[in-house]
Amino acid sequence: MAGNVLILGIFAFLPPYWPQFENKTTLGKRKKTYISIIVFLTVVFLIPQNLKMPVKEATKSDYNPKSFWFYPWGKSVTHKGVDIFAKKGTEIKSSTSGLVLYSGEINMGGKIVLVLGPKWRLHYYAHLNELKTSSFSYVNNDSTIGTVGASGNAVGKSPHLHYSILTMVPYVWRIDSDRQGWKKMFYLDPIEYFE
Ligand SMILES: [Zn+2]
């Protein structure tokens, strides 16, 4: 859903294109604007992801390989990410480089960090114990962004990092007949990138 909104947001900034109402100069300027927007969108798409496991020293045995799209999963119906278990206070590093869009507290996720990374993908880190980054700062895959905890709707559960990857460009070919299968065009399986 967040992906949808952000894409609509981008298109809302594009000026309307009505050549019959314009003279050559504004037409030229507009063309340049379009080209630079397309170049920018493409460049971000081409940045290599170099994704790293975000929880320090975590291995395969710290998450369930079937964690992604697990059903039933309470209010969310299916589990759209992976839960990586670790001791409370374990360091969390950003899995990719990117721009921190939000670092703060929300209801379900508790203390969360949202990073816009390469390929127009959003990286969502939830249930943190401590936040160690701030909104609108740049991070790379060596930046500490927080520590593992059990905040939000994970209160009382074992400390873990909930990690989701969302693509803002819908991958429609990934839709399948699973429960909420249409949402698979936005939510990617982080486990695929750990291996
Ligand atoms: Zn989770």
pTM for this entry: 0.86
Centroid of ligand 1 to alpha carbon of 81 (angstroms): 6
Centroid of ligand 1 to alpha carbon of 78 (angstroms): 10
Domain hosting 42: range is: 2-46
On whether both 97 and 190 belong to a single domain, the answer is yes
Is the residue at 107 inside a domain? Answer: yes
Q: What is the count of structural domains for the chain?
A: 2
Centroid of ligand 1 to alpha carbon of 118 (angstroms): 23
Residue 175: count of CB within 10 angstroms of its CB:
13
Centroid of ligand 1 to alpha carbon of 110 (angstroms): 12
Centroid of ligand 1 to alpha carbon of 15 (angstroms): 39
On whether both 105 and 38 belong to a single domain, the answer is no
Note the pLDDT of residue 26: 82
User: CA–CA separation, 69 vs 78, rounded Å?
Assistant: 5
On whether both 20 and 97 belong to a single domain, the answer is no
Centroid of ligand 1 to alpha carbon of 82 (angstroms): 6
On whether both 117 and 162 belong to a single domain, the answer is yes
On whether both 105 and 24 belong to a single domain, the answer is no
Q: What are phi and psi of 173, to 5 degrees?
A: -70, -10
Centroid of ligand 1 to alpha carbon of 123 (angstroms): 13
Centroid of ligand 1 to alpha carbon of 107 (angstroms): 14
> Nearest-CA neighbor of 107 among 150, 156, 153?
153
Reduced to 3 DSSP states, what percent helix, strand and coil does the chain have, rounded to the nearest 5? 30, 30, 40
pLDDT tens, position by position, for the chain (195 residues)? 445 555 555 555 555 555 556 677 888 888 999 999 999 999 999 999 999 999 999 999 999 999 999 999 999 999 999 999 999 999 999 999 999 999 999 999 999 999 999 999 999 999 999 999 999 999 999 999 999 999 999 999 999 999 999 999 999 999 999 999 999 999 999 999 997
On whether both 68 and 38 belong to a single domain, the answer is no
Centroid of ligand 1 to alpha carbon of 155 (angstroms): 12
* CATH number for the domain harbouring residue 79: 2.70.70.10
On whether both 35 and 85 belong to a single domain, the answer is no
> Nearest-CA neighbor of 112 among 133, 97, 91, 95?
133
On whether both 110 and 66 belong to a single domain, the answer is yes
Is the residue at 73 inside a domain? Answer: yes
On whether both 30 and 67 belong to a single domain, the answer is no
Is the residue at 51 inside a domain? Answer: no
